[in-house]
Structure 1
Amino acid sequence: MKYFVYLFLLMMPFGLLGNAQANDFHEGVRILDSGDSIGALTYFKRCAGDGETRCQVAYASFLERGEGVAQDYSKALELYQKAAESGDATAQLNLGAFFENGYGVEADLKEAVIWYSLAARQGRDWALARKDMLITQLGSEDLLFIDKRLADYK
């Protein structure tokens, strides 16, 4: 499982934050790379608490999977929400999955499409595929609602 988290972290976008925050995140990745997943978990939890977006996503992924910590969809959802609202594409994609599947929240396909759409705008092909598939299950009123919400994120 630690290899999945490590690969997940490597795929996250870089360069969106200042050096201090980037160094925080990279230190957590270095700890994880050394084989110390519990140390990385502790580190990501601390820097997530400091508001570092990529650390929020990393810590949320531990919580989502229950790796080294009790599985907690509600806390993971909260962290993904913060990071997604800050523009993090990985968090947006994961938030879409939470709303689609009802992890820690009531399933809501409209919300899922909104978050998948935002991630797709940033080049996440999987999010685009999920969005396109879910749209076929929604009505015209739902699509108008989604368009209005997405206009707020432009």
Structure 2
Amino acid sequence: DWNSKQRSLLARLCGGAVGRARSFNLEAYIAARSHALVLLNSALRGGDHSELFRVTETYRAGAEGREKTEQLLRTVYSLLEDLMFLMSGTAELVRNTDIAGELKTLAEAADFRWIANASERLAEVERGMRRNLLRSLSLDAFATALERN
């Protein structure tokens, strides 16, 4: 059972699709989103990477690790889309409304070119997964390659 804030978030994340909402694992999404925010914050703010490395080392080989990594990548794409909505003045389209303040801060630190580059690099991580590259290393490389100085 979800509270009203969780139901609202779920409705946005599922685009109002009731069937999808019934099977949506909100807890797993929120966990992946917290990791995605670490990746994006690390990329946009640079500096100390200890939190980034703590997060990415949890993405191991095997089927479970693959599923977890795929969820993370979908979530990063979702956050990048929300950043684009904020930057384009269409905040009403943001799905992750419960973290709107944090997203706004990230959007202020990014620009269109950075988001496009992040999306391209995320696609590289996905391709690397098909070639069985080390997941944690490719996630580290994703975040550090996007760092803004």
**Same-fold status (TM-score > 0.5):** no
Bigger RCO (CA 8 Å, 6+ sep):
2
